[in-house]
Copies of this chain bind each other. A is one copy, B any other.
Amino acid sequence: MNRFSLNHATTKHWDVFEAVEACARAEIGIGLWREPVADKGLEATAARVRDSGVTVTSLCRGGFLTTGTREALDDNRRAIDEAATLGTSELVMVCGGLPSGSRDLDAARETVAEAIAELAPHAAASGVRLAIEPLHPMFASDRCVISTLDQALDLAERFPATTVGVVVDTYHIWWDPTVWSAIERARGRISSFQVADWSTPLPAGVLTGRAQLGDGVIDLRRFRHAADAAGYDGLVEVEIFNDALWARPGAEVLAETLKRYAEHVA
């Protein structure tokens, strides 16, 4: 269990201080989100993290770059700074969907590439890696025009592996017939390995359809073995957006998730 990290979004009822404290007690890592960090204050949260000794595996999230605006770039520079302050080297990037009114996927993808190029120097200087996360193709229009791991790698490989990495999230890529070679190709660039299970029917809007480990159809352990084989030796972040989980107390969700992790991932 010493590779387990709790993505804060899994236990929505905890504020970030409560989540950090719980992870410290359980001797596990944590994945943070910008909004709950801002709620408690960046410096105050960073101090809590340092005092607790908890490893921050990633900060969610930068991205939403397809508008190509200066505002978006500035916000991402702030996100890079926040990651550095919180002591994590990995900033998860959800790159954004099609700009309003556009049907031009190629253009949106090129805008993302240009924005990453603009952000890379500041990331490198800050010791923070931009972790490009391919999202499931069902999010291609409204959240992320980067849909496969190979596509994320095509983009990441334009930059040094220490500056731009990729997120391997089982929920988003489990269906991909080319996923195993893509994970091997990601060697040295895996910024974050995230796990959640896939089950149907999907809820309206599909965002909160991620399933508890073992409640779905993904061969999660095969993915962990593949990430291991590609040289990934960091923590494994569990990130589950699920209305039923969110309705339960954080401690109960964490206990169940640790158990499921042992059964299906470890």
Q: Using a CB–CB distance below 8 Å, which chain A residues touch chain B?
A: 98, 102-105, 109, 136-138, 140-142, 147-148, 151, 154, 174-177, 198-206, 216-219
Return the contact of A202 from the options B102, B138, B200 (Cβ within 8 A): B138
Chain B residue with the shortest CB-CB distance to A101: B217
**Residues in B whose Cβ lies below 8 Å from that of A103:** 217-219
**Residues in B whose Cβ lies below 8 Å from that of A141:** 175, 198-200, 216-217
How far is it, in angstroms, between the C-alpha of A157 and the C-alpha of B138 when the chains are bound?
27
**Residues in B whose Cβ lies below 8 Å from that of A109:** 177
Return the contact of A175 from the options B147, B174, B216, B219 (Cβ within 8 A): B147
**Residues in B whose Cβ lies below 8 Å from that of A201:** 142, 204-206
Among A140, A175, A199, A218, which residue has the most Cβ atoms of chain B within 10 A?
A: A175
Whether A151 pairs with B177 at a CB distance below 8 angstroms is: yes
Whether B102 pairs with A206 at a CB distance below 8 angstroms is: no
**Residues in B whose Cβ lies below 8 Å from that of A151:** 177
